[in-house]
A and B are shown apart, each in its own frame.
Chain A
Amino acid sequence: MTDATVNADATAFAGTGEAIIKVENMDKFFGDFQALKNINMNVGHKEVVVVIGPSGSGKSTLIRCINRLEQHDAGRIVVDGIELSDDIRNIQEIRKETGMVFQSFNLFPHLSIIDNITLAPRQVRRMPKAEAEELAMELLTRVKIPEQAQKFPGQLSGGQQQRVAIARALAMRPKVILFDEPTSALDPEMIKEVLDTMKDLANEGMTMICVTHEMGFAREVADRVVFMADGEVVEVGTPDHFFDNPQEARTRLFLSQIL
């Protein structure tokens, strides 16, 4: 990775074959405010991309555009060969392939943990109840809280809730998972359990885009780090390049403030 200029190209991805997510020349406006400026980014199979940057830099907006929680205004987004357009069928197909984990968990408070997890597989994938529950228990075991299956979200700690949210996203068997600041709403002692779950996922070969402020996680797990500021990709690189040898002044300023 050589000198990156402002609005860097993040299209070079780790791994081989076709990129699973392609973002080309994407713009996003909120009213008159341009939140994303001509973003170009690809994500490869089994790649872990960590997006960092100051608040208001457009990192969350970027991943929320990928599964159409926000509508992009210009450019193309292609997920697993499906172009994100106004076609509701394409939108649904892409949403089936991309799980999402939110900062505020967004578990369904009126459903038990197991029902939270089985809802989408049963309704969207038409999976029989018994099979869906088996899958849910398997996933809960993977995030290490199988004993909480019959409880309700309000009875769990923040860290447990976020792990349930990860299990819920996994239950759809997505090809990609988008993490939108998954640890920002957690008490410090619960951050680790969630990050550990995410690390396990990464090691198992899940394709992930993580918006996070956890630099330790970025350094340890990321294949690529994307630094954004003011709606632009400022610098892209491997964690080593990024943390030890950043090229852009804006990146150095940001790192000096948080490290």
Chain B
Amino acid sequence: MRLAIYFVVAAVALFGWRFLRDVTTKRDTSNRPPPWRDVRVLAVGIQVVAVGILFLLGSWLWDNFNTRTDDIGLDPFDFAFLDQPSGISIADSDLNPNSPISSALRNGVKNTFLTIVVGIPLSVLFGTLIGISRLSENWLLSKIATGYVEFFRNIPPLLIIVFTWSVFLTGFPPERESWEIGDLFIFNNKRFAGPSIASQENFVAYRWLMLAALALAAVVWVVRTRLFDRTGTPHRRVLWSLGTFVGIGVIGYVALGQPFRFSTPDIVERVYEGGVKMQMPYAAGVFALTLYTASHIAEIVRGSILSVDRGQVEAGNALALSGFQRYRFVVLPQAFRVAFPPLINQFLNFTKNTSLFVAIGFAEITSISINLFGQSRPAPQILFIVMGIYLTFSLVLSTIGNLINGRLAIAGR
């Protein structure tokens, strides 16, 4: 019955639309086909039908959802539970089971973010190297790269993650027998730790100073480049910029009375002191997912380099460009344009695949939400939030990607 009404409404709207169009455009209507053969009407009609079907399906699902949540007495838009204690503890955080759920979720977002910012650049770097290696004229190198790609791209990422984790778990010693490299690094099957910078008095001021030094170094870089462009004086811009930065750093260090010290990690009574530490599952997960994603990126890089016309390489050769210059100025800028859209895809895949870390107990957002389900927290709301978070990550990534992609487009093509 409802369907019939929708149909009639759609038909009336369609005829009305055609009538209105005829009136407003004063088109000649004498020689017009009947509406079911009019391509313009058909084109609009198909879209109306598609939207209608989508709408019906959505409203059916929504009704189902509401009926079920009503049955169990749940308000799917009640987010007050976020302030209740989470009941879960998260490794290497200040949170305890009494901390609110919102804090736990926030910590999950932070952890997911940490996997992305480290994992995606590593994947790109490693994948590019493998991709170029596959094209190498060195037989051994190219075969190793091919073997690598074929191995990792044909195994489910979950398997790689769990396998890497178990290798780390059995390969590294237990905490009591940690491997230590000097005083600087500690490796065991729970955590890895390394040296870091610890703040002392005036550290905030020093940080601002160094930020300014970085900006100044950039200015020096540009000035030296411009000078070279104009007069041909050797620019030595790396030396100049680095000199500026380090010089200010040293002077500032002395003037502000040692604002920082180097801090080395140490385990005292099972507690890590000083340095920076990461959980073994984090290291294993990022490592595994990087291996997996790099195998896909390698193929993208290889394909996009092959897509650059051979004549471009020949033109570069004929102009006496060196192998590096040819890659840097001719081949890679063109290959990168081709590679970029599928690369964005891989960034998104990496982001989504971090949810698999739930299997090795790293507290990223998915594993936290699953833990919360275990505490009988309302699943619909948490799922909404988690989906929203992944969607945000993905949209931010692809927006950045599309902006860059737009800037890369070749004029006149």
Binding site for B on A (CB under 8 A): 67-69, 92, 95-96, 98-100, 102, 104, 106-110, 119-120, 123-124, 126-131, 151-156, 168-169, 172
Contacts and interface: CB of A to CB of B under 8 A. Distances in A.
Given A124-B321, A124-B322, A152-B413, 14 more contacts: A68-B317, A69-B317, A69-B318, A95-B319, A106-B312, A106-B314, A107-B315, A108-B315, A110-B333, A124-B319, A129-B229, A152-B410, A154-B410, A154-B412
Contacts of A92: 320, 322
A81 to B, nearest CB: 17
Given A102-B314, A106-B314, A123-B329, A172 B319 contact: yes
A128 B231 contact: yes
A110 B320 CA distance: 19
Output the residue of B322, B333, B411 with the most chain A CB within 10 A: B411
Contacts of A110: 333-334, 337, 410
B232 interface: yes
A241 B329 CA distance: 47
A120 B320 contact: yes
B218 to A, nearest CB: 19
Output the residue of B230, B315, B334, B412 with the most chain A CB within 10 A: B315
Nearest to A128: B232
Contacts of B6: none
A168 B321 CA distance: 13
13 contacts: A104-B311, A106-B314, A108-B312, A108-B334, A109-B410, A109-B412, A120-B319, A120-B321, A124-B320, A128-B228, A129-B229, A152-B410, A155-B412
Contacts of A126: 232
B410 A128 contact: no
B19 to A, nearest CB: 46
Contacts of B317: 67-69, 95
B41 interface: no
Contacts of A104: 311
Contact of B228 (A96, A102, A129, A153): A129
Contacts of A129: 228-230
B162 interface: no
A109 B334 contact: yes
A131 B232 contact: yes
A129 B229 CA distance: 4
Q: Which 7 A-B pairs have the closest CB atoms?
A: A154-B412, A128-B232, A129-B229, A155-B412, A95-B320, A106-B315, A120-B319
B227 to A, nearest CB: 9
Contacts of A128: 228-232
A109 B338 CA distance: 13
B210 interface: no
B318 A151 contact: no
Contacts of B314: 69, 102, 106
Interface SS majority for chain B = helix
A194 to B, nearest CB: 17
Contact of A172 (B230, B309, B312, B320): B320
A96 B410 contact: no
Contact of B325 (A99, A108, A124): A124
Contacts of B229: 128-130
B325 to A, nearest CB: 5
A99 B314 CA distance: 12
Nearest to A92: B320
B330 interface: yes
A95 B329 contact: no
Contacts of B337: 110
Given A109-B334, A110-B410, A123-B329, A99 B318 contact: yes
Nearest to B334: A110
Nearest to A131: B232
B279 to A, nearest CB: 43
Contacts of B411: 151-152, 154-155
Contacts of A172: 319-320
Nearest to A95: B320
Contacts of A169: 318-319
Nearest to A153: B412
A95 B410 contact: no
Contacts of B311: 102, 104, 106
Contacts of B309: 106
Nearest to A67: B318
Interface string B208-237: 000000000000000000001111100000
Output the residue of A106, A127, A168 with the most chain B CB within 10 A: A106
Given A151-B412, A154-B410, A155-B412, A96 B230 contact: no
Nearest to B229: A129
A138 to B, nearest CB: 17
Contacts of A108: 312, 315, 329-330, 334
A107 B228 CA distance: 26
A102 B315 contact: yes
Contact of A100 (B232, B318, B321, B334): B318
B319 A119 contact: yes
Nearest to B324: A123
Interface in B335-352: 337
Given A106-B311, A152-B410, A155-B412, A130 B318 contact: no
A110 B309 CA distance: 13
A152 B412 contact: yes
Output the residue of B230, B320, B325, B413 with the most chain A CB within 10 A: B320
